[in-house]
Amino acid sequence: RKRQAKEGLKAGLCGTRADVDTYAALLRRCGNANDLLQGRRVHKCMVRSGLVRNVFLGNLLVEMYGKCGALEDARAVFGRMNGRNVFSWTLIIRAYAQHGECEEALSLFQRMQQEGVIPDKVTFVGILSACSSSTALAEGKCLHARIIACGFQSDVIVGTALVNMYGKCGSLEDARRTFDAMPERNLVSWNAMMAVYTQHGYGEEALQLFQELRLEGLIPDKLTYISILSACASCAALVEGKRLHAEITGTEFESDVVVGN
């Protein structure tokens, strides 16, 4: 991927007039390849071309630096942007959250609202990932209340993010209450709730949920099997574990190293 980013930089900028679309493609390529060196070179070219003031490209710069873990660079670009929008705020918040800078992510979220920018569903999913310990439970509950006020509580992606957040904060009751209240649940939602139970040693509850998933007509995927096999181990459910192993045998999951382990 890094070689592709380098080749793209040469093809996109050498001897040609790079436009917004060219820079956008290069920034995405550098971010996906985690190629900070090439990303900075693209940034320098953007400065020389004057396109660095473009809000769309500015957002992509923040995203690229965030993916590469260069939070200071991401923050510097964000700070210089004129006409920042909800997407700009979401990207910088997500960058800090994904790299464990939870307090700064929450601080940015508060500042965003103080400046009158209304968060969207993607913003909430990003900031919820910043609440990942018992000490952040209070902030997580405040975010939940804000989600309800914004009318996003029925969104399946937001609901699943809430389940994950409560699980990481150790509040299994809140996680299950949120899960049960979701008007729509997909396989990702079920996997999230099962993972919460499994990670906290509630194997029997995870197994019960697995049975409910089956009754709903959903087809387990790799992540489902990972959680449920771990649940069997945590509650010494040898018979169920063997049954699941037999079920996996002959399927696309049999040779999967993660499931096999």
Among the ranges given (36-50, 205-219, 227-241), the one the predictor scored with the smallest mean pLDDT:
227-241
Considering only CA atoms, which of 34, 33, 32, 91 is closest in space to residue 57?
A: 91
Q: How large is the average pLDDT for residues 44-56?
A: 92
Residue 15: per-residue pLDDT: 42
- Residue 257 binned pLDDT confidence (cut-offs 50, 70, 90): very low
Amino acid residing at 153: Q
pTM of the model: 0.85
pLDDT tens for each residue of 62-119 = 999 999 999 999 999 999 999 999 999 999 999 999 998 989 999 999 999 999 999 9
Q: For residue range 206-223, what is the model confidence (pLDDT) as tens digits?
A: 999 999 999 999 999 999
Which residues, at least 6 apart from 198, have a Cβ–Cβ distance to it below 8 Å? 206, 227, 228, 230, 231, 234
**Are residues 230 and 205 in contact, defined by beta-carbon separation less than 8 angstroms?**
no
DSSP conformational letter for 250: T
**Average pLDDT over the chain, rounded to an integer:** 88
